[in-house]
Amino acid sequence: MEVFKELPEDGIETNFSGWPKPQYRKMNLEELYDQNRYYYYCPNCQGFIKGTMAQKRIDTLRPLAGRRGTEYSCRKCRSNLGFEGMVS
C-alpha cells in the first residue's frame, strides 16, 4: 500500500466510520460515493492511505468494565486509530 504525504488532489478524506468528512458534503452524490477516491490518515504511517480503515467489532462489555462498539485500525501497519461505541 502506498502512503501519500499529502491528500491527493481528487481524494476525499474519510472519518472513522468510512464516511466523507463534513467539508465534502457539498459535492454531488455521484462524486461523494466514488469509493476509489477515499483516503484516511494514519499518524504512524505519517500519511494518507487509499481506501477505508479496517473495522473490528468489539464486545467485551461485562458487569463492571469493558466496551462494545467498533474499533478502527490502519490496513497497512495495523495500529489502532480509534474506537466508536460504549465504554464502561
- Residues 6 or more apart from 85 whose CB is under 8 A from it? 58, 67, 68, 69, 70
- Residues 6 or more apart from 71 whose CB is under 8 A from it? 55, 56, 57, 58, 80, 82, 83
Percent of the chain with pLDDT over 90: 47
What pLDDT is stored for residue 37 in this prediction?
84
What pLDDT is stored for residue 55 in this prediction?
92
What pLDDT is stored for residue 25 in this prediction?
62
Average pLDDT over residues 62-83: 92
pLDDT in tens, 4-37: 999 888 888 887 777 777 776 667 767 766 777 8
This prediction has a pTM of 0.78
